[in-house]
Structure 1
Amino acid sequence: MRAISGLWRWRHNPLCRGTDLAEAWMAFAALLLVLVAAPVVGVLVGSAAQDVLQRSVRAQHQSRHLVTATVVRELDPSPSAADPEGSVGGDPRHRVLAHWTAPDGTERSGPVPTRLEDPRPGAPFRIWTDGHGTTVARPLDTATATTHAVLAGVGAALMAAALVEGFRRLAVRHMLRRRYARWDQAWDKAGPDWGRTGAGS
């Protein structure tokens, strides 16, 4: 708003230089781009991310299966066995040797992490596997995918606004350098006669 009022105030001012007017128009254009173009960029990027992530959610839910495993015995904790999903709400994590039946009917066993409080032999718990019974991470859920898409859109909008403002600042800096160079040239011409009686008369 300040750019608009400043532009209106300067338009018929005899002291207004071309660079002042150009700077005001540039500020006005940058404001419009930040208010209009940046949100549009954010919506487009967020929508594209939402489409890709929701397709990934559907693909993961089709290819991953929740099966029941049975604890054979508890194993020593290993840092490399940590689940990338991490413990939620401070739930204890254990590493156990478990046995389960794959979706294709084959019997499988191996070390898996579990949130069971007391992983006694024979205790059942649920794990995610692919179609062949290999353990996989939990599939992405719809709400998490939507959150990531919203964050991508907001990030893209902020990035677009930052690029517009950065370009405006670079352009204004270039204009200031040219203005100072012209001042130096004018001062070089007037400098030797400055203050001399009768100079220029």
Structure 2
Amino acid sequence: MIAWLSEVLVLEQIYWYLAIPFTVLFIIQLVATFLGLGDGDGIEGVEEGLDLDSDLEFESSLNLFTIRNFITFFTVFGWSGITFSNAGMGTFSTLLLSTILGIIVMLIVSVLFYFTMKLTHNGNMQIEYAKGATCQVYIRIPAKRNGTGKVSITLQDTFRELDAMTDEEEAIPTGTVVQVKDVLSNSILLVEKITRGDE
């Protein structure tokens, strides 16, 4: 009887040791997400260091092994363990139910973040759509790709100012109407002057 009680008390202590720190991390993570800090997937520097999450850019796959999910699992596991233990459930039942509940909540959070990231990704600017569009030089563009300027362009029904370069022999001054010839690998527009025949 004493040995059983001792085992229960030690197990409950472990639940408390897990619940409190992971709850603090969970709250910090939640606040950071709502404030727009990091990428919404945990503590930014920690994740980069552990390299457990590749969601810095949107991926189509559902990634379960992330710092966010790790924190979520142990937060739920700790508190459900404390609850089931105080309810008088057995050690094995408490461990099993806490683990199942932790996994279920972790999966729910993963799915929610997956669809949130998907919506965000779909709403992002698709710069490839700029090809062939006409725009106006906002900041002078140096000749022969010797630097970048800026153009004002309406893209996906939104007015934007984007970086631009040109292959023209002379710099393109502010106010000139140009056409987007291509999009360079670093998301810079390659533009050219519109000749009278193109207008």
Same fold (TM over 0.5): no
Q: What TM-score, normalized to structure 1?
A: 0.34
Larger Rg: 1
Q: What TM-score, normalized to structure 2?
A: 0.34
Q: Quick one: higher RCO (CA 8 Å, sep 6+), 1 or 2?
A: 1
